[in-house]
Amino acid sequence: MITINRVAKVVKGGRRFSFTALVAVGDGAGKVGLGYGKAKEVPSAIQKGIEEAKKNLFAVPLAGSTITHPIMGKRGAGKVMLKPAAPGTGVIAGGAARAILEAAGIHDILAKSLGSSNAINVARATLSGLHELKSPDDVARLRGLSPEEVAPAGVLRAWRERQRGPFEPTEVA
């Protein structure tokens, strides 16, 4: 749940109120989605938002508990700068960006909203930035190089460890 807003429609007999809900849904392991629901009552608006968010889920390339590279997400008047952070840093973000990053399962990141402070614009800009992230393997393929030439060793190691999964055995030297 990111924000709930009461909106009014002025009609002949007075005002008709309805509610909107901006909702982030994620599995805490690299998948996240955003939904926007509108209804006459708050619980219905939240439910509609959750259903839309589940339809819009996508995978975020992660290196350990952070993102793979710095990026600027832009959407409408919203701009959000996202930077990877060292393990133990935590989620340094505010409002809508924090909710989305936590839902995605990102534990170490620096984020700053530079444009609009509107929750919807900030949320969509954050998602735009996460959507544009590329894995070290994708960047290497685009440049025609090896992943070792493109990404720092620590990022590459964290990326590969994340891809391997928690239950597969690791090599012991």
Residue 132 structure tokens: 């544009």
pTM equals 0.88
What is the residue type of 51?
Answer: E
pLDDT band at 99 (very low <50, low <70, confident <90, very high): very high
pLDDT at 169: 55
Distance CA 31, CA 59 (A): 4
The residue assigned the tokens 């989605």 is: 33
Distance CA 124, CA 128 (A): 6
Going by C-beta distance under 8 Å and a sequence separation of 6 or more, which residues neighbour residue 100? 2, 24, 26, 32, 34, 123, 126, 127, 130
Tell me the per-residue pLDDT of 101-135, one tens digit each, with 9 for 90 and over: 999 999 999 999 998 899 999 999 999 999 999 99
Going by C-beta distance under 8 Å and a sequence separation of 6 or more, which residues neighbour residue 91? 98, 101, 102, 106, 107, 108, 109, 111
Which residue stretches of 40-94 are H helix?
42-55
Tell me the per-residue pLDDT of 11-21, one tens digit each, with 9 for 90 and over: 999 999 999 99
Distance CA 96, CA 104 (A): 13
